[in-house]
Structure 1
C-alpha cells in the first residue's frame, strides 16, 4: 500500500492515513491506495496483521457499519474514515442464520439488529437467502411477540426492499402480518414495519415487473410472471386477505390520528398504495370501505394539524392522497350510471325519488317520473352521461343530508310554469361539472395541486352549497328554461371566488360566500370577468373537452422535461438540516458542493462532493462515485435545510442563520433519516428535482412546486389558444350546444344554389 512517486515525493505524503481496528483489539494506522480493489486492500491488511483466516473471510466497514466497496473506497480514504476489519458479509450471514435456526431467544435477540443492518447488502443477502434465512426469519415473525417481533419485522421490511429473494412468501405469512396490524394492542414499533410490509406486497404487482412495464396500462394484457419473481402478489392478493380480517381497515384509518408521526405516515402510505393499485375486482369494495370510515375527515384533520413536525413528515403523503383522490373522483365521474343492471345505482335513485315525495304520472311520451326531478328524459344512463356515478353520489348526498330542502325545492319548481322551472337534478349535475373543472378532474393520474385542498376532500358538501346557490340564482334572476347556461356561468364565477383560498379558508367562510352573496353583486362581477376572457373559452364544449386533453398532454410534457433535467445533472449546495443530529458538526464539511445526476434507468441518483462548482464533470457516471437508490426515498421534504456558513462565492444564495430554511432547499428522506440535504441555486433547478422525484414515486406522485404547476397551466392555455385558431375563424359564433334537428321526412329534396339568387 506504500510506494514512491516518479517525481521523487513519497506517496506517503500524498495518501491520507486511515485507522484500522480489529475485533481482537488491534489498532493500526494505514495508508491505503484508493485506486486498489478493496479485496487487495483487505488481503494486505490481513497479511500485515497476521489474521488467522483467509482474507476472503474479512471485510472493511466504517464506524457506521457501512461496507467499504470499490465504489466508495476513494471517499473513505479521502475523509480518513476510521475502518474496522470484520467478518465478510457471507460469513456474517452464515452466523446469523445459524443463530436464528437455533431459536435460542437470547441468540435471536442479539442477531436481529445485525440482520437489520446488513440485509440490504447484496453479498450478505445472497448468502442469507441461499441458507434459507428467509424461512427462519418468517418463523420468528410467526411465533414471537414484543421487541423480538418488532426487530424481525424491521429485518423483513429491509429485505423486501430488494427486488428478489422473497417470492416464496405465502398467504399464511401475509395473514399473520394483517393480524398483527389489526391488533389494537400492537406496539407502535411493531405496527410501523408491518404496515410497510403490506404496502410493499401491494406494490409487488405483476404489472409492476420490469418486463411488464410496457403493457401495464392495458387492461386486456396478461402480465408475465417469471419464476422466482417477487412481482407475484399485488393488490388482489393482499386485499383479499385484508378483507378477511374484520376491522383491519378501521384500525389503519384510525392510526392516521396517531400522535406518532411515523405511524401516521406509514398508514397514509398504505392507503395511498391501495388506492393507486386497486383493481376492478375490489375497487368498489375498497372505496366504499374508505368512505364508510370517513378517511377524508381523518386526512383533513392531518392537514389542519398545528404540529409543524407532523406536517413536515406527512406533507408529501397527504398530497399523494389528494392525487389518489383525484384519480378516484375521475373514475367515478367516468363510470356510467345504470340502475337497470346495478342494484346499488337503483337503490340510490329510489332513495332520491322517495325523498322528493312525488307521484308518477303519464303523458304522450309515456311515464313521467325522473323528468319531475329536473332531468330532460327518463333515460338515467344518458342523463348522468357527463358526471357518471360521481353525479349520482353527489345528488344522493344532497338528498340524504337535507331531505326537507330537496323535497321543498322540487315541489316549488313543479308548481311553476314549465318555462320557469329550474331543473333541480340537471342543476346538480352541472355543479358537479363546474367543481370538476375547478379541481381539474380531467384525466386519471394528472393533478398539479401543490397545496392542501381540504375542500376537495369535502366534495359532496361543497356540491350541496353550490347547488343551493344555483337554485337561488335561478330564482333571484327570474331565469327561464333557456337561461340555464347563463345561471351556470354565475355559479362558475362564484365557485372561483368562494374557493380562491381553499387551502386556508375556514368552512364557515366558504359557506358564507355562497349563502350571503347577492345576485346583482355576482352578476356585476361575472360581467367584468367576461370582458377579460376570450368569449370562445366560455363555451362548454370547448372548455370541458379540449382543455382536458391539452392538460394531460402538458402534464406529460413537463414531467418528461423534469426527468430529462435530472438525467443531465445539476450542482447543489450541501445543506445543513434545521435539526442537526447529535454528533454531527456541519463546519467539518470541507466539500460544500454536490453534483447530482439521475441515471438513465431512473433507479439511482449518482453524486460527488467537491470544494467548488467549477470542477468539470464529464457525461456519464464515471465522475460520480456515490449514489442514492431512488426506491429508498420515502419523502421529498421541501424548505428543510439551511446553507452552510462561509460558503464560497459561487452563488447568490443569501447567508442564513442555521435555524432558517433556505428558499430552495429540499431533503431526500428514508425511513432511517435524511439521505441528502440540498439547496438549489434557483427555483427552476429546485422544481426539476423535487417534482421530478415525486413523479417517479410508485404510490402516485404529485406536483410540489408552483413553478411546475404554472408550466402545466401555461402550456395548456397556449395550446388551447392555438387549437382555437382552427375553430374561431372570423369570430364565428360557436353555440354552447348543438342540435341536429329531426331528419327529413323523405328523400324528395334538393340543395338550393343560393349563389344565383338575387
Structure 2
C-alpha cells in the first residue's frame, strides 16, 4: 500500500461501518511492517485509532488489529501506545482477551503483543526515523520529531507492566499454561514464548512485577538492583508458582511430541532458561542467617526422626538433664547439641552450611525435596546405617550433593544451548533432535532421587566403605551417562528410573573400565599399545609356567580297552585302564606308567617305569579343537546327563570312554627332521618340531594320552607345546592369556589418576617426576584374580 493512501485508510479505520473497518485493518496488517509506512501511519495519528479498535472491536476486526500492532512492534515502532495514563487499560484489555476470549486468532495476537511488551527492556528507547514518534508539521509529509514534554508518562515494560492486569485476572498464568496443550501449534508457541519472556524478565535482575528485584543477580552474577531486596526469594516464588500450575509437565510433553519442529525455537529457549535457573540456584550460597535456609536445615533434622536413638547419635542423660525432641540436652536452662547431629545425616562435619559450597542452594533444594518425598525411606535408611560400623555407613547428605553435581555436569548446565541450537537448527534435520532437545532435564528432581537410590544400591552391593566414596560416585557418574545420556527424546522418565535401579553393578563396572580404556587410548594410544604388547608377553610367560606346573604335578589319564576280536585273551586280561604321567623336576623327561586302578594318591617318579626324553619328541598331535565354540559345545555335551558317550566297565567299575587324545611322536632314528603324521579323521591339530627332508626320516608314536576332560587336555597339550617353545593353540589357554593381560592392563589403569590422563607433570620441583624409593619394600605381594 502506498503511503499516500494512509489518510484514506485512517478514515476507513475510524468508520462506523464494521465491514469497512474490517477491510481496512485487514489491509493494514500486511503493510504496517514496512518501517517507512509505519512511520507515516504513526505520525498521522494511526496509533490512536488502532488502540480504539483493540479496545472496542471484536471478531476478525479485533484479530486483524492485534496482528497489526504485533507487526508494528516487531519493527521496533509504535511503543508510544503503551505510554500515558491509559496504557494500563490497554494491557488489561489484552490480558482480558487471553482470559475470556476463546478464539484462536485473537489469542495468538494478544499473546504476541504481551511477548513483545514483557521482552522489552525498560531502558530501551527508540530513536531516529524508524523508531521515534513523529507528528505532522504543516503539510502532510513534512515530518519532525515530536519533542517530549514534562507531562509525558514513560512506558512500563517487562512483567511489571502486567501486575495491575494480573491482579484483576489472577487466573491469567494458569490459562496461559493451559494453552500449551492447544492443538494450534502457533498459539502453543506464542504461549510458550510469553512464559519464556516472563521467566527471563523475572531472573534478569532488572526489576519486574514478578519480583526480579529480589533475584540473586544477573546472568553473570551481578548484585541485585534493589539494595533492600532479599536475594532469591521473589523470583523463585514466581517460578515455583508456574511449576505448581503444571508448567514443567506441559513443556515436557511438548518436548516428546511430534510437534517439535513447529515449536523448536521456544522449546530451546525454555530449555536454556531451565539451565539458567539451575545456575542461579547453585550460585545462591547457603547462609544460616537467611530464614528460609535455616528452615530447610531444620526440616532435614526433624525429618530424620532425631528422637530415635541411633547408635552413633545416642545422647546419654544424667540426673538433672532433660532431652528435647530434636536430640538436644537441656541442663539448668542450657542447651547442648547432639555431638553428631549432622554427621549422622551424612554430612562430614557439624557445620552443614559449609558443605553446600559446591552445590549451593541447588544442592539443598535437591536434598530437602528428596527427604520431603521419601521421609519414611529416609528414616529407615538412617536407622539401617546406624547399625553398621562407622566406616561402612553411606553418607546420605554427601551422596545427595554428589548426585546433584553429577547431573549438573551431565547436562552441561554451565554451557548455553543457544550457540549449539543455531548450528543444529540450520541443519533442519529431525535426526539431530535427540542431541539438541533434552526432556529429561525438566525431570531434574526425579532423576536426582533415582540417582541417589542408585548410589545407595551400589554402595550396598559393592560393600563400599567411607574411603570408597569417590569410587562409588564414579560408578554413579558412568550410570547416569549410560542410562540418561543414551536415552532417546521420547523415552519416558519412568523407564529411565527403572533402568537406574536395575542396572547391574558388575556390568556397570565393566562398562566403566571400557570407557576408561577408551579414554586412555584416545590420549595415550601408542603408549597403551606398547603396554598391551608387554602385558601380553608377560601373560604368556605366566600361563606357560602354569601349564608346565600342571605337567610337574602329574595327572591321571584313561586307556581305552582293546575292542577288536583279534586281541588275545591274555592281553585283554592284562588290560590296565589307568595311566599316570608326570614331568620330571628338571623338565627333561616325561615319566608315565599304567595301573589297574586309580590310586588314591599320586605315584612318585620312582614308581613310573617308563619315560620319554623331551629332546627326542618331533611332534604332538591332538584332536582338541582350537575353535572356542566347538570346544564349548563339546564340553557341554560331555556334561549332558543323557550323553551318548560310551561307558566301559573293568572289574565291575564304570569307566567313561575318553573323547580326546594327545599323541606324542618321535623320529625312528637320531636324525631330526620334519614330522609327517598320517592324516586321520580325528586329527585336527598337528604340531611339528625341527626341520629337514621328510624322505630321510620317519615318525612313530611313542606315547598316547587320553585326557578325561577338555580342561586337562588343554593343559597338557599346550603345556607340552610351550615346554617345547611353541605357541599355545587351544581356545582355553588363549582365553586365559587374554584374561591375564587384560587384568594387568586394568590394574595399571586403576593406578593412574584421572587428571594424569589429560596432562603430564606441571613442572619440576616439589617432588614432581621423582621416582619414590623402594627402601624397606619387598616382593611379598599378590594380585587376586
Cα gap change, 1:290/1:536 in structure 2, threshold over 3 Å: closer, same or farther?
Answer: farther
Residue 119 of structure 2 contacts residue 197 of structure 2 at CA under 8 Å; is this kept in 1? yes
Superposition deviation, residue 387 in structure 1: 1.4
1:357 partner SS: coil
Q: Pick from 368, 371, 375 the counterpart of residue 347 of structure 2.
A: 375
Q: Distance in 1 between matches of 2:12 and 2:174?
A: 38
Q: Distance in 2 between matches of 1:252 and 1:437?
A: 32
Residue 209 of structure 1 contacts residue 231 of structure 1 at CA under 8 Å; is this kept in 2? no
Cα gap change, 1:416/1:167 in structure 2, threshold over 3 Å: closer, same or farther?
Answer: farther
Does 2:226 match 1:240? no
Q: Deviations over 1:258-290 (max 9, x none)?
A: 011111111112122223333343322331122
What is aligned with 1:56? Answer: none
What is aligned with 1:528? Answer: 514
What is aligned with 1:395? Answer: 367
Residue 327 of structure 1 contacts residue 443 of structure 1 at CA under 8 Å; is this kept in 2? no
Cα gap change, 1:109/1:168 in structure 2, threshold over 3 Å: closer, same or farther?
Answer: closer
Residue 166 of structure 1 contacts residue 230 of structure 1 at CA under 8 Å; is this kept in 2? no
What is aligned with 1:216? Answer: none
Q: Distance in 1 between matches of 2:91 and 2:244?
A: 25
Cα gap change, 1:294/1:384 in structure 2, threshold over 3 Å: closer, same or farther?
Answer: farther
What is aligned with 2:181? Answer: 257
Matches within 5 A, 1:190-589: 190-206=106-122, 233-241=156-164, 243-244=166-167, 245-278=169-202, 279-280=204-205, 281-282=211-212, 283-306=235-258, 310-343=259-292, 345-359=293-307, 360-361=326-327, 368-443=340-415, 448=420, 450-502=435-487, 503-533=489-519
Q: Distance in 2 between matches of 1:496 and 1:728?
A: 34
Residue 304 of structure 2 contacts residue 378 of structure 2 at CA under 8 Å; is this kept in 1? yes
Q: Distance in 1 between matches of 2:407 and 2:296?
A: 22
Q: Distance in 2 between matches of 1:243 and 1:370?
A: 44
2:290 partner SS: coil
Q: Distance in 2 between matches of 1:370 and 1:518?
A: 32
Cα gap change, 1:342/1:444 in structure 2, threshold over 3 Å: closer, same or farther?
Answer: farther
Cα gap change, 1:208/1:423 in structure 2, threshold over 3 Å: closer, same or farther?
Answer: farther
2:80 partner SS: coil
What is aligned with 1:589? Answer: none
Matches within 5 A, 1:174-193: 174-183=91-100, 185-193=101-109
Superposition deviation, residue 352 in structure 1: 3.1
1:337 partner SS: coil
Superposition deviation, residue 320 in structure 1: 2.1
Q: Deviations over 1:512-547 (max 9, x none)?
A: 32111232222232233333335999xxxxxxxxxx
Cα gap change, 1:151/1:386 in structure 2, threshold over 3 Å: closer, same or farther?
Answer: same
Superposition deviation, residue 486 in structure 1: 1.1
Superposition deviation, residue 456 in structure 1: 1.1
Residue 347 of structure 2 contacts residue 355 of structure 2 at CA under 8 Å; is this kept in 1? yes
Superposition deviation, residue 488 in structure 1: 0.6
Q: Distance in 2 between matches of 1:489 and 1:361?
A: 35
Q: Distance in 2 between matches of 1:722 and 1:168?
A: 62
TM, length-normalised to structure 1: 0.54
Cα gap change, 1:259/1:285 in structure 2, threshold over 3 Å: closer, same or farther?
Answer: same
Superposition deviation, residue 126 in structure 1: 2.0
Q: Deviations over 1:26-77 (max 9, x none)?
A: xxxxxxxxxxxxxxxxxxxxxxxxxxxxxxxxxxxxxxxxx6xxxxxxxxxx
Rg larger in structure:
2
Residue 352 of structure 1 contacts residue 396 of structure 1 at CA under 8 Å; is this kept in 2? yes
Residue 331 of structure 1 contacts residue 444 of structure 1 at CA under 8 Å; is this kept in 2? no
What are structure 1's unaligned runs of at least 5 residues? 1-66, 68-87, 212-225, 538-719, 735-758
TM, length-normalised to structure 2: 0.52
Superposition deviation, residue 434 in structure 1: 0.4
Cα gap change, 1:448/1:326 in structure 2, threshold over 3 Å: closer, same or farther?
Answer: farther
Superposition deviation, residue 239 in structure 1: 4.5
Q: Which has the higher contact order (CA 8 A, sep 6+)?
A: 1
Q: Deviations over 1:178-232 (max 9, x none)?
A: 121122x431111001111011111210356699xxxxxxxxxxxxxx9699995
2:74 partner SS: coil
Deviates more, 1:454-463 or 1:269-278: 269-278
1:160 partner SS: helix
Matches within 5 A, 1:46-195: 88-89=2-3, 91-169=4-82, 170-183=87-100, 185-195=101-111
Residue 466 of structure 1 contacts residue 514 of structure 1 at CA under 8 Å; is this kept in 2? yes
Q: Distance in 1 between matches of 2:154 and 2:763?
A: 51
CA RMSD of aligned residues (A): 3.4
Superposition deviation, residue 328 in structure 1: 1.4
Q: Distance in 1 between matches of 2:348 and 2:461?
A: 23
Superposition deviation, residue 391 in structure 1: 1.5
What is aligned with 1:81? Answer: none
Cα gap change, 1:102/1:341 in structure 2, threshold over 3 Å: closer, same or farther?
Answer: same
Q: Distance in 2 between matches of 1:296 and 1:195?
A: 20
2:77 partner SS: coil
Superposition deviation, residue 166 in structure 1: 2.0
Q: Distance in 2 between matches of 1:207 and 1:733?
A: 55
What are structure 2's unaligned runs of at least 5 residues? 128-146, 206-210, 213-234, 308-325, 330-335, 422-434, 524-754, 770-785
Q: Distance in 2 between matches of 1:163 and 1:333?
A: 36
Residue 141 of structure 1 contacts residue 149 of structure 1 at CA under 8 Å; is this kept in 2? yes
